[in-house]
Structure 1
Amino acid sequence: MSEQTVLVINCGSSSLKFSLIAPDSGEQFVSGVAERLLTEQAFIKVSYQGSKQQTALTEPFDHQVAVNFIVDFLQQAGLSEKVSAVGHRVVHGGESYSQPTIIDDSVKASIADLGKLAPLHNPVNLIGIDAAEKAFDGLMQVAVFDTAFHQTMPSKAFIYGLPYHLYKQHGIRRYGFHGTSHYFVANQAAKELGKPIEQTSVITAHLGNGCSVTAIDNGQSVDTSMGLTPLEGVVMGTRSGDIDPGIVFHLIEQLNYSPDAVNSLLNKESGLLGISQMSNDCRTIEDAILEDNDTHADMTMDIFCYRIAKSIASYMAALTHFDALVFTGGIGENSDLVRSRVVRSLALLGLTLDEQRNTDIRFGKRGIISTDESVLCLVIPTNEELVIAMQSSDIIAKQQG
């Protein structure tokens, strides 16, 4: 391994995903995830050279312990000297950050301040940054923001119908998320189309436990379904997506919910889980439909797919032309049932599915799932870690050059 590599860290409240990637070739040398952090059951799983190992973590069972384990592993494997930078996924960059950014004290202060817009994400992203700084003293750390790609949206797309001073004084606006994923698959779609990204207009549907749809016109994000927070938009695994805001007041004033209970209801108890009363896992709901002919599960899936299709159709208003629809994310890449139901609702956009192609393209495969006469419909597995590695490497090269 002669080329330099970037260690990519994606820090969650009780987990830490990592991978060591060569940005030039895209090769991934080692990857893993630490789970159940801050509990005595904390452990870390590592995949390296075709084998997997799981190790219990030691006290205090925190993110620093996980990062220290990663450092030790890289040293023992002879990989640590090749690490040129550490790239961090940071969820919310607000309006301050439209590009990857080398982390210093002022950037960390901004990430902390933006925690008021992403209280479940930015604080733990900072924990990962602090842990990596201690472990990799002197190595450049780069923040790659989920919101950055969407900073090209025009004001007509990101301003809410609220008093304008709430935007000017408090930054209340649509920011969008999953930007790294939407950026990656849009560029891959341009290659599939044989067009420069600057001339490519697609709608990308990142469907997983969190779901978002983005309109990308001539290579730039011009609208997206998630908003100030990742709660807005289509129905998701446990999130409600769009609802009448008056429901919040009804829950508090008429049904005696507390604000915290409403927050938990909308973020953790709704979506596929809340509607199905079964699971937030799309696979479980699909099994209930296909194996048990469960009509309630079937209704849940119809709601999920219809909201996605409606969001896709609405973005025709944002595009100058329409080259392709792209599915990505865990559900988008693997559920032929979801893709079939979504596309079936979009016949007026010139989309027609080839059912055999749709069935064949799953489990990491990429390709065309539409008929030859249709507007192009693609499945492209996302690779956010590669984007973070490439963008981290690029900005450091610019800094040093």
Structure 2
Amino acid sequence: MRRAMAQLTDPEKGVLARPEDLDAVGFKTVHAKGIAGARELTPEVLKAMEAYNLVAPLHNPLYLKAIHFFKEALPQTRMFGLFEPTFHQTRPAHEALYAVPRDWETRYGIKKYGFHGASHWFISERAPQVIGRPAKDLKIISCHLGGSSSITAIAGGRSVCHSMGFSPQSGLPQSARCGDLDVYAVLYLIETGQMTASDIRQVLCDKSGLLGLSRGLSGDVPILEKAEAEGNPDAALALDAFACEIQKWIGSCFAVMGGADAVVFTGGIGERGVSMRRRICRPLGALGMELDETRNAAVVGAEGVISTAASKVGLWVIPTNEELIVAREICNAIKTAE
């Protein structure tokens, strides 16, 4: 953070004469109890973030630390956050609720919030530009794949289905986080005295996902792909499990929207993972999604189509730009507040 501050005012490459010239500092905040949208980070909002430290243990504490650093360094500068569930507020109630008593939502805030909102939001706007059709006419399946991954069905520019739920630990297997897990497995371990809630939380956050499936080898896809090529069966299993869950969610989004015009790969793995994209797309021909091997190999970290000319559903790679969405929405929030 100190290096970032220094870069802003660097005599040769900086954009500010002094840090105090900043009008605001924006954060891609993750989760806060009862909070969504682009919000000024008042004491009340920070308290709401703290209330969900147990829900987003790898995110909220670090974000709070960063926010307090900037508040101390720039006491006269306003701080704003764009909370990740914001883009997913357009989902219908039947998609956003769990099948538990309805008062769990009002009493405890238990529902499917969704995350990676800024990334999927960017894809909802950029994909129509790249494809050359209006957003209102498109059904897009946005695959944000990286150390943390999620998939969103976007119809008419709006989120209508999403793979994550109450916490960022849900949905697809992550690098070291578990993704979806039958809650009764956790209850069983606790109630039989085999593990404490604290122990389970640590394992699910730090030792699960691709890391856990590969027996601790790695949560990094390129490392697992290298190990698979060398004959490691645990690496192969982890990669197959990851691809399988992505395939299932692509199919779910396809079904919810009644079809799709495009599947977009974004995030570190989505943008650069040539082999993983091939693995994911291999069985999707039944949905009209045909990968062009030559195009796929040629598109790495850049915008491009990777489907065949005959594919009924376009397959695209579009690098995300979460910072752009955060900056824009926070600027809008500042203007609204004035």
Using structure 1 for the length normalisation, give the TM-score: 0.77
Q: Deviations over 1:4-50 (max 9, x none)?
A: xxxxxxxxxxxxxxxxxxxxxxxxxxxxxxxxxxxxxxxxxxxxxxx
Residues 245-260 of structure 1 mapped to structure 2, 5 A cutoff: 245-254=183-192, 256-260=194-198
Whole-angstrom distance in 1 between the partners of 2:137 and 2:24: 32
Whole-angstrom distance in 1 between the partners of 2:157 and 2:258: 11
- The structure-2 alpha-carbon separation of the partners of 1:255 and 1:270, relative to structure 1 and needing over 3 Å to count, comes to farther
Q: Residue 306 of structure 1 contacts residue 345 of structure 1 at CA under 8 Å; is this kept in 2?
A: no
Q: Deviations over 1:227-267 (max 9, x none)?
A: 11111111221122222222213333457112112112222
Q: Does 1:344 align with 2:278?
A: no
Q: CA deviation at 1:344?
A: 1.3
Residues 180-199 of structure 1 mapped to structure 2, 5 A cutoff: 180-199=118-137
SS class of match (1:143):
strand
Q: Residue 206 of structure 1 contacts residue 329 of structure 1 at CA under 8 Å; is this kept in 2?
A: yes
Whole-angstrom distance in 2 between the partners of 1:76 and 1:340: 43
Tell me the C-alpha RMSD between the 2 structures.
2.1
Q: Does 1:83 align with 2:38?
A: no
- Structure number having the greater helix percentage: 2
SS class of match (2:333):
helix
Q: Deviations over 1:270-305 (max 9, x none)?
A: 111111121111111101122x13333222211110
Q: Tell me the residue number matched to 2:91.
A: 153
Q: Residue 31 of structure 2 contacts residue 52 of structure 2 at CA under 8 Å; is this kept in 1?
A: yes
Q: Residue 197 of structure 1 contacts residue 219 of structure 1 at CA under 8 Å; is this kept in 2?
A: yes
Q: Deviations over 1:150-170 (max 9, x none)?
A: 111111111111122211101
Aligned length, in residue pairs: 331
Q: CA deviation at 1:72?
A: 4.4
- The structure-2 alpha-carbon separation of the partners of 1:297 and 1:70, relative to structure 1 and needing over 3 Å to count, comes to closer
One of 244, 249, 264 as aligned partner of 1:311: 249
Residues 117-132 of structure 1 mapped to structure 2, 5 A cutoff: 117-132=55-70
- Structure number having the greater strand percentage: 1
Whole-angstrom distance in 1 between the partners of 2:189 and 2:40: 43
SS class of match (1:359):
helix
Whole-angstrom distance in 2 between the partners of 1:207 and 1:147: 17
Letter in 1 for 2:227: A
Q: CA deviation at 1:116?
A: 5.0
Q: Residue 95 of structure 1 contacts residue 151 of structure 1 at CA under 8 Å; is this kept in 2?
A: no
Q: Tell me the residue number matched to 1:38.
A: none
Q: Residue 201 of structure 1 contacts residue 216 of structure 1 at CA under 8 Å; is this kept in 2?
A: yes
Residues 49-60 of structure 1 mapped to structure 2, 5 A cutoff: none
Unaligned runs of 5+ in 2: none
Q: Percent same amino acid at aligned positions?
A: 36
Q: Residue 113 of structure 2 contacts residue 167 of structure 2 at CA under 8 Å; is this kept in 1?
A: yes
Using structure 2 for the length normalisation, give the TM-score: 0.90
Whole-angstrom distance in 1 between the partners of 2:190 and 2:61: 28
Unaligned runs of 5+ in 1: 1-65
Q: Does 1:174 align with 2:108?
A: no
Residues 351-366 of structure 1 mapped to structure 2, 5 A cutoff: 351-362=289-300, 364-366=301-303
SS class of match (2:144):
strand
Runs of 4+ off more than 6 Å:
none
